[in-house]
Amino acid sequence: MSLAMDRQHIVGIDVGGTFTDVVLFDIASGQLTVAKVPSTPANQSVGVMNAIRSVETDLGRLQRIAHGTTVSTNALLQRKLAHVALVTTRGFRDTIEIGRTRRMIPSLYDPTFIRPAPLVPRPHRFEVSERLDARGAVLVPLDPAELDAAITAIRDAGVAAVAVCFLHSYANPQHERAAAEKIRAALPDIAVVTSAEVVSEFREYERFSTTVINASLMPVMGRYINALDRTLVAAECRGRLFTMSSSGGTMDVATACHLPVRTILSGPAGGIAGSLWVAGAMGLTDFITCDMGGTSTDVCLVEAGQPATVTEVAFAGYPIKGMQISINTVGAGGGSIAFSEAGNTLRVGPLSAGAEPGPACYSRGGTEPTVTDANMVLNRIGNSRRLGGHIELDRARAVQAVAELAARIGVGDVAHLAEGIVRIAVTRMASAIREITIEKGHNPSDFALMAFGGAGPMHGTALAEELGINTVVVPIHPGNLSALGLTASDQKYDLVRTFLRPLSDTTDEDLEAQLDAAMAQAADLLESRGFAPDAIGCEHSVDMRYARQAFEITVAMPERPASQARLRAAFFATYERYYGHVDHTAEIEIVNIRTTAVGRIRKPSLTPVPDAAATLKDAVLGQVAMIVSGQDVKATVYDRAKLPRDQPLTGPAIIEELGSTTVVLPEWSCRRDAYGNLKLTRR
Amino acid sequence: MPSVDPIVLELIAEGLTSMVREMRTIVIRTAYSAMIHEGHDFSCAVLTPDGHLLSASEVDQPTHLSALPWSARTILARYAGDIRPGDLFIHNDPYTGGTHLNDVVVLHPVFTEGHLLALLGVMAHWQDVGGMVPGSLSGGATEIYQEGIRIPAIRIAREGRIVPEISDLVFANMRLPDDRRGDFNAMEGACRIAEAKLIRMTGRWGVNTFVDAAGILLDRAEARLRSEIAKLPEGDYAYETYLDHVGGGDARPLPLRVKLTIAAGAIHADFTGCPPQVPGPTNLGPAHAWTATYTMVKAFLDPNSPINAGALRPIQVTAPLGTVINARPPAACGAIGEVRRALEGLIMGALSMADPERSVGDLKGASNITTIGGFDTRRARGFAFVEFPAGGTGAWRGADGNNAVRNFAEGDLSSIQPVEAIENVYPLRVERAILREGSGGDGKRRGGLGLQREVRVLCEEAALSVLSDRNTIPPYGVRQGLGGAPNRFSIVRDGQEMAPSQLPGKVTGFKMRRDDVLVMCTAGGGGLGDPLDRNPADVLNDVRYGYVPSEKARTVYGVVLIADQVDEGKTHALRQRLRSRRTHLVCGLLEGAEFLDNRRVAALSPKTAARMDLAPGTLVEVPNASGPSLRAWVRTDASLPDEICALGSSALTTLGIHAGARIWVRRVPFEGTIVQ
């Protein structure tokens, strides 16, 4: 048996705040094994190893380990970042402090707001004489003596990373490269990165900000990956390690260590990847994902099989540029606390009981009523199963917590308040979903809802009713969907170059030359990573705008050969879709050309799940009096693992599985498909 | 008092907020004006049937908060008893609710079961509404007729049908009428979507429940703000600030005064004493005194409180007709920014006296709109570069001010453009973009730094216009803190600095030549507390960061730094010496006019003035331990005894002192004036 045949296992791991989820996929048998282990926030690599060991006894069998990590995200949110020095163009050391003069944090009306401090303190920002113009021509050559002086100062500054950020480096990266090489040579132990490597786009503040964040994460990510890698090697694992990127593809860990800023949305992107994989198998192309966890819910719009993307986000008060999946987060999750602000008001979230102490029903010391407790009161959760197999749920504590709040705000009926808490959480999620659909000119009722995460399936039908949606999909392993998605994600590397010029001045040959160059770059990048030419793909898009506008829209590049006329038509179509109107005469500009280099992997495919039971009746676990609209309704409780294929069950019902509960409200029916996914439809 | 289930109440409140957010999304997605979809200069609101604000989102423009409902009430007054389902109204008249003519209101009544349930309103900045210049706003306007079409409260659609005679007339008076129809349609579309949602909501909960809930939400906001106001000591608190110039060629400053009366959980802001309307465009309609008062009261007392008319109930405003803050037709009203910012500083100052613990140093106090326009020969087209650079924010009890950032009373917009965008698009080169070192108002807590941008013109010639204020009278400090550096706009030509205008900050079409460099410096925020009380370690840090020049560390903060460390002993001695050198005079009661040429008088004997090195006409201030410094101009009076500073009786009231009190008089720190 060859070595490659030996290594038939793919592992996907999603590191969350509380649990680390893991999925093992056996290519030969198509079998999936899922597990959950506690996360180890102090050193995530420990939890990752525990997760791998919980599903794989022989690490020598692993072909690939793809993981979604919150190392960057947490480091940035908690400001546990490496000290960074900045080397920049003379006259511009304050660019990262002044920014675009925006507050970037909610602070309107607040005279006491404190703007997030720049990540490089002023004394660690070093200016050197050099200057390019907008076309990349040298106005002032890089001054070697000043660079030497900066290097000396950096040596004394006690930093772990250096960001080299020069004006117009997107047009000509030579000065940045020269400076970086000299710094690397002089300071071999310090991580060095240039702004054009991180994001080769114009607009200096956004590029510098992204680069400085990247630099501050490089040592953090490096430490984590090295620790993980050492442990894997010690365990004789020969599988290659990958990390999920914010744009929804995996990248090798060398890239993750050099460009850690691209992993900020690593976690949520895994969920989107998982939902795309499941949707692909079901033939579903237009849907809204609803990933409801303990503290918050992430929603994302998927159209024609493509998740909505953005090219810039604000994170922790700083702009981050780069292609990223567009995720709207709302502070409502299973652990969100219901409370009274003053007198008889009622609010839900954004404060969350988290995992510790957790909802009152976890019996870990939590006494505030949470959304999960409200569901317990309503008999919509955990009647016979433990949550994730780890926590025993105590309904009496949930009732007590909700009853105490009811007394405080003068609501007589505990069940009424419990329904209210769930309803408020659902309403807030619905608002977030409406925003992302209306933003793109759509109506949510034209989409299906993909509900996952620990708490998503419990609220899927209620949320759908609120939005006028008639189809809800609860994928297999809804609590581990991110990990699942990781096993099936292609490698993706995002490239961008600023190409700022009027469309009318751009010939078809110019466009083709740009795309050819981008494709050559993509091919280099992927071939060096071992991809055969036939496994390499390229997706191009173009940021375009009307001349004199300050913002762009991203337009998918039409089929090649590229032409000015086709690009213009694509711009009009996209603009009209977003804004409802279009001006066919105004001048249009190209701003950036984006290319995603896709390295196609051999994907696991969902395999049909055999019927564990012949009839629905065999899947019944019992009956429960679920509370809906103030009424006790008799709901049948099913074991998801035993649901036979394509035999519709009707609500009110509860479908239980390890780590999640699907609520089927009255007027809904549900059937499981060949792969084990649940499709719920409104009757 | 009606009661509503707390769950339903929260669902209705959430529904209203998300309705406004949806309206915003639709307006952004469909409007034609870049000021709307890029600048987000618009607001959406749900109003009660009698035209009071029921719900706005947390990001709607403070500027519009009172103006939009005011417009709605003007419409209601005109069409009382004659409003039918499907009607649509439009309005932009500053004297009866609007802001400037570019801000157009579309109002959509919502009916259910034959009753007027609510009004949906959008106020948005249209790119152009006609008038003497493209874009409609001009510093040169002297009458409203030059600023575009004035739309009184009119019905533009009747029972679902646009009245073409009216809409044609409106749009025919604007440049690019099709685009403006696009803006109108975007606003109407947002209202229509919200209407459907509102009707679904009342269908679910019942009209009576909705109406009761609306009432409770207003009452609750009122009670919340009243309880905060009630914590303030009752009394009168007056303050005064200045606009730099009367305008229209008149270089005298323009004083603004307010008296806040706090009593019985309410605040009365009396602007009697504000000057008559002026010939230039720096006039306001009646809504802004309310807006500025409410914005600052909310900011001081309860920034996170809900925004609705209930919260406005504890606030009363007296704004005499015919003044700059409540102008009569046909005063031009285009430049609302400068007056409104000045009003905010004014009210902040008075509130700081009422609650010294929460006092805040002054802000940049101007819009700083800077335009370089001309013809780009290389690209063979005209260009117009526009920025409105932010300044530092004021210090407060808990922290230094923030550097170069949009302040808490402004929408969170980018006020400067990327250098790389500028150099790609305009024949300009940005040579420096840095923090303006030393510009923060010094104090125990230091004001934030302004910024400095230097822009070189690369084409043959270009025209510079600037609309700014606080160029001659800098932002104030509080509780003995110093003011920030004033805004400042200058030109460097052949290595020589020069002023681009007679009146600083008011530049109209100054001809820049190739290689001229515009230097924009924005104001630092006002400081808080005595600089000699600042922690020396913070001063050391400021010097290390270059925020404060080392010279100032010694002369203003009394901190002695030796080998990059604080010398405690020498610092203590120096601080004692600096303190003892401060000039304290006996306050006298001024005989005669309190103001001369619009300037508050501080009268000194010639000998005292000479001892203090204060020439007549010098701007001085009397620091106030429990509020903002009071500014005045030196006049010498040989009949006064030495060591007396005579001030008018209203100054004594403002400072809360009597004649005979010892007062600290000091020069207001200035940058060197630029000679044209």
Which CA distances in Å does A97 have to A158, A169, A513? Answer: 21, 19, 38
Any chain A CB within 8 A of the CB of B37? Answer: yes
- Across the interface, whether the CB atoms of A416 and B32 are under 8 A apart is answered no
Q: Measured between CB atoms, which of B25, B189, B298 is closest to A109?
A: B298
CB pairs under 8 A between A and B: 200
Count of beta carbons in the 10 Å neighbourhood of residue A52: 27
- Across the interface, whether the CB atoms of A424 and B396 are under 8 A apart is answered no
AA identity, residue A458: M
Q: Does residue B430 surpass a pLDDT of 80?
A: yes
Q: Does residue A564 surpass a pLDDT of 60?
A: yes
Q: CA A10 to CA B557: how far, in whole Å?
A: 65
∠ CA A591-A597-A601, nearest 5°, is 155
| Residue A217 C-alpha, separation from nearest chain B C-alpha, in angstroms | 24
**Of A31 and A597, the one with more pLDDT:** A597
DSSP line for B461-494: EEEEEEE---SSSPPPPBTTPPPPPPPEEEEEET
**Of the given ranges (A356-365, A480-489, B558-567), which has the lowest mean pLDDT?**
A356-365
Preceding peptide of B531 cis, ω within 30°: no
Instruction: Give the residue on A whose Cα is nearest the Cα of B298.
Output: A109
- Across the interface, whether the CB atoms of A206 and B418 are under 8 A apart is answered yes
Q: Measured between CB atoms, which of A91, A109, A202 is closest to B434?
A: A91
CB A283 within 8 A of CB A413: no
Instruction: Give the residue on A whose Cα is nearest the Cα of B430.
Output: A91
Quote ipTM for the complex.
0.93
Q: Does residue A386 surpass a pLDDT of 60?
A: no
Model pLDDT, residue A8: 85
Any chain B CB within 8 A of the CB of A581? Answer: yes
Q: Does residue A399 surpass a pLDDT of 80?
A: yes
Locate the domains of chain A by residue range: 3-75+223-263, 80-217, 271-331+426-487, 336-424, 491-599, 616-682
Q: CA A495 to CA A514: how far, in whole Å?
A: 12
CB B252 within 8 A of CB B246: yes
- Across the interface, whether the CB atoms of B62 and A112 are under 8 A apart is answered no
pTM of this structure: 0.93
Residue among B524, B382, B503 at smallest CA distance from B452: B524
Model pLDDT, residue B58: 75
Q: Does residue A344 surpass a pLDDT of 70?
A: no
Residue A638 forms beta bridges with which residues? Answer: A620, A655
Q: Measured between CB atoms, which of A114, A204, A340 is closest to B402?
A: A114
Average pLDDT over residues B457-485: 94
Residue A588 forms beta bridges with which residues? Answer: A546
Tell me which fold the domain A271-331+426-487 belongs to: Nucleotidyltransferase; domain 5 (3.30.420)
| Residue A565 C-alpha, separation from nearest chain B C-alpha, in angstroms | 23
Kindly indicate whether the domain formed by A491-599 is annotated with CATH number 3.30.1490: yes
Q: CA B624 to CA B354: how far, in whole Å?
A: 13
Model pLDDT, residue A303: 92
Q: CA A248 to CA A254: how far, in whole Å?
A: 17
Distance between first and last Cα of chain A: 53
CB A321 within 8 A of CB A206: yes
Model pLDDT, residue A383: 56
Residues of chain A with Cβ-Cβ distance to B21 below 8 Å are 431, 435
Q: CA B192 to CA A169: how far, in whole Å?
A: 47
Any chain B CB within 8 A of the CB of A412? Answer: no
Helix (H, G, I), strand (E, B), or coil: what is residue B506? strand
Residues of chain A with Cβ-Cβ distance to B412 below 8 Å are 102-104, 107-108
| Residue A241 C-alpha, separation from nearest chain B C-alpha, in angstroms | 38
Residue B263 forms beta bridges with which residues? Answer: B266
Tell me which range, A290-299, B195-204, B365-374, B543-552, is most confidently predicted by mean pLDDT: B543-552
Q: Does residue B285 surpass a pLDDT of 60?
A: yes
| Residue A190 C-alpha, separation from nearest chain B C-alpha, in angstroms | 23
Model pLDDT, residue B40: 83
State residue B417 phi and psi, 5-degree precision.
Answer: -100, 155
Q: Measured between CB atoms, which of B189, B405, B418 is closest to A115?
A: B405
Count of beta carbons in the 10 Å neighbourhood of residue B633: 21
Q: Treating both helix axes as pointing N-terminal to C-terminal, what angle do B6-30 and A564-579 enclose, rounded to 10 degrees?
A: 150
Average pLDDT over residues B187-202: 92
Q: Please tell me the CATH code under which domain B584-667 is placed.
A: 2.40.40.20
Which pair of structure tokens corresponds to residue B468? 């700014």
State residue A274 phi and psi, 5-degree precision.
Answer: -65, -45
Q: What is the mean pLDDT of chain B?
A: 93
Count of beta carbons in the 10 Å neighbourhood of residue A104: 20
∠ CA B426-B430-B436, nearest 5°, is 140
Helix (H, G, I), strand (E, B), or coil: what is residue A633? strand
- Sheet-wide strand order for B315-318: B235-243, B254-263, B266-270, B315-318
- Whether the domain at A3-75+223-263 and the domain at A491-599 fall into the same CATH topology: no
**Of the given ranges (A61-75, A180-194, A486-500, B661-675), which has the lowest mean pLDDT?**
B661-675
At B601-629, the pLDDT tens digits run: 999 999 999 999 999 999 999 999 999 99
DSSP line for B170-209: HHHTSSSHHHHHHHHHHHHHHHHHHHHHHHHHHHHH-HHH
Which residue, chain included where needed, has tokens 């203003």?
Answer: B556
At A450-469, the pLDDT tens digits run: 999 989 999 999 999 999 99
Eight-state DSSP code of residue B328: P
Any chain A CB within 8 A of the CB of B200? Answer: no
Residue among B596, B657, B647, B650 at smallest CA distance from B626: B657
Instruction: Give the residue on B whose Cα is nearest the Cα of A166.
Output: B420
Residue among A654, A497, A574 at smallest CA distance from A136: A497
| Residue B466 C-alpha, separation from nearest chain A C-alpha, in angstroms | 19
CB A448 within 8 A of CB B32: no
Q: Please tell me the CATH code under which domain A3-75+223-263 is placed.
A: 3.30.420.40
Query: A530: which residues sit within 8 A by CB, 6+ positions away?
Result: none
Residues of chain A with Cβ-Cβ distance to B419 below 8 Å are 92, 95, 167, 204
AA identity, residue B5: D
Which CA distances in Å does B185 have to B27, B41, B79, B130, B173? Answer: 9, 17, 22, 19, 17
Model pLDDT, residue B384: 85
- Across the interface, whether the CB atoms of A202 and B418 are under 8 A apart is answered yes
* Chain A 425-444, residues with CB within 8 Å of chain B CB atoms: 427-428, 431, 434-435, 438-439, 441
Model pLDDT, residue A286: 96
Residue among A439, A450, A430, A432 at smallest CA distance from A286: A450
Any chain B CB within 8 A of the CB of A504? Answer: no
Q: CA A508 to CA A563: how far, in whole Å?
A: 5
Q: CA B129 to CA B484: how far, in whole Å?
A: 37
∠ CA B600-B604-B610, nearest 5°, is 120
Q: CA B156 to CA B88: how far, in whole Å?
A: 6
Which pair of structure tokens corresponds to residue A40? 């180890």
Model pLDDT, residue A5: 55
Q: CA B207 to CA A484: how far, in whole Å?
A: 48
Q: Does residue B164 surpass a pLDDT of 60?
A: yes
Q: CA A90 to CA A166: how far, in whole Å?
A: 9
Q: Does residue A1 surpass a pLDDT of 70?
A: no
At B23-74, the pLDDT tens digits run: 998 898 888 887 787 778 899 999 999 999 999 887 778 888 889 999 999 9
* Chain A 118-177, residues with CB within 8 Å of chain B CB atoms: 121-123, 133-134, 167-168, 170
pLDDT band (50, 70, 90) for residue B676: very low
Any chain B CB within 8 A of the CB of A408? Answer: no
Tell me which range, A95-99, A291-295, B202-206, is most confidently predicted by mean pLDDT: A95-99
DSSP line for A196-243: HHH---S-HHHHHHHHHHHHHHHHHHHHHHHHHHHHHHHTT--PEEEE
Any chain B CB within 8 A of the CB of A411? Answer: yes
**Of the given ranges (A316-325, B405-414, B665-674), which has the lowest mean pLDDT?**
B665-674
| Residue A547 C-alpha, separation from nearest chain B C-alpha, in angstroms | 9
Residues of chain A with Cβ-Cβ distance to B542 below 8 Å are none
Any chain B CB within 8 A of the CB of A263? Answer: no
Helix (H, G, I), strand (E, B), or coil: what is residue A447? coil
Q: CA A99 to CA A208: how far, in whole Å?
A: 9
Q: Specify the length of chain B in residues.
A: 676
Strands B461-467 and B451-457: unpaired
Strands A491-502 and A588-599: antiparallel
Count of beta carbons in the 10 Å neighbourhood of residue B303: 16
Model pLDDT, residue A391: 66
Locate the domains of chain B by residue range: 6-224, 359-529, 531-580, 584-667
Interface test with A, best of B405, B445, B544 (most A CBs within 10 A): B405
Residues of chain A with Cβ-Cβ distance to B17 below 8 Å are 431
- Across the interface, whether the CB atoms of B21 and A579 are under 8 A apart is answered no
Query: A616: which residues sit within 8 A by CB, 6+ positions away?
Result: A638, A643, A644, A647, A649
Residue among B337, B66, B40, B60 at smallest CA distance from A108: B60
Q: Measured between CB atoms, which of B6, B303, B421 is closest to A344?
A: B6
Which pair of structure tokens corresponds to residue A482? 């991110």
Query: A16: which residues sit within 8 A by CB, 6+ positions away?
Result: A39, A70, A267, A293
